Structures are given as structure tokens and as C-alpha cells.
Amino acid sequence: MNAIEKTCELIESTLGKSPAFRKVEDRLYVVKQGSSYVMISVIPGKKEADKPLVRVYAQVVSGVRPEPSLFRQLLILNARMRFGAFAYLPEGMLILFVHTMLGGEHMDDKELTATVTDIALIADAYDDRIVARYGGQRMQDVIEESAMKHIFGAEDENGEVAWEESKGS
């Protein structure tokens, strides 16, 4: 068994007992905690396939405008974090909280569990604050909105659910 397989096996055996855990695809997992969705991705090492990285991250806020005061606040928060960091992705105007650790024989179940829990707690603690001050949506709201659109149909020009007219009315 190579290091990537060992890493995936440890993730699945450690977190797989939780009903909040889901395997999305090979080397990609998600855990729902509070209003956070924590993603776990196993990435092969750049130079050696036997040293995979495990990136654990939560999408904190979506659709937030890039403002200097927001970036300044995120940098200040990063300086206070014991691990991990906030990041901004222009695509989707996303704020993430990210931490990367070594996989393979270097990773242990307690560190993995603590990392996932801490990422979720940080994302859950800061999503409402960021939305209140800078706009955007919490990731839970984005997912719930998407599910409602899927269930009830498309939106009209006012952002309301567009109900289909039944034939014969």
C-alpha cells in the first residue's frame, strides 16, 4: 500500500464513523459541522509520491467583495491563529480557511480529528461576522439556496421562485 492509499485509509477509518462524513470521490472527503462544510483533499507530493499532503479547508463565505479592509482583517486574524490561515479566491469571491498537513506515515488520527474540528469551529465562528461586515453568504446558506432552487424551480427576475403554470388553468 502506497502513502496516498495509507492516508486515505486513515481518513476513512478515523472520520468514517461519523454520520457527518462523506466520501465525495477518490482522495476527496467532506464533513459537515455546524454551518461549516470541511473538505479534506489528499494531494500527491510534488517531488515524491510517498509524501502526500492533506489539505483541510472550509469555504467560509461566498460572494464577498474584495476590499482592502477585508484583506487587512484577514491578515490580522491569520497572525492570531495557532494554525491554518484565511485565504481569498477571486473565482467565486470566496473566503476559505485552510490548513495543510503531511499525510502518509506522518499523519495520525488525533491530529486529523483535531484539525477537522478546529477548521469547522473557526469557519463557523467567523462566517456570520464576515457576512455582517462585508456581505456575501455563508456556505450553508449557498448550499440551502441551491437545494431550494433544485426542489422548487428557477427564479424570476426578482429572485423569487418561479412556479410553473399548470396547463389547463
How far, rounded to the nearest angstrom, does the alpha carbon of residue 114 sit from its chain's CA centroid? 16
Region 18-27 average pLDDT: 93
Higher-pLDDT residue of 74 and 2 is 74
Helices 3-15 and 109-134 pack at an angle, to 10 degrees, of: 70
Average of pLDDT values for 25-41?
90
pTM for the complete prediction? 0.79
With 0-12 / 13-18 / 19 or more C-beta atoms within 10 angstroms meaning exposed / middle / buried, residue 19 is exposed
Which residue did the predictor score with more confidence, 36 or 84?
Answer: 84
pLDDT digits (tens, 9 = 90+) for 118-160: 999 999 899 989 999 998 877 766 566 655 565 666 666 666 6
Kindly state the percentage of the chain with pLDDT values over 70.
79
Decide if pLDDT at 166 tops 50: no
The 10 Å Cβ neighbour count of residue 80 is 6
Q: Which helix (H) or strand (E) holds 116?
A: helix 109-134
Q: What is the mean pLDDT of the chain?
A: 85
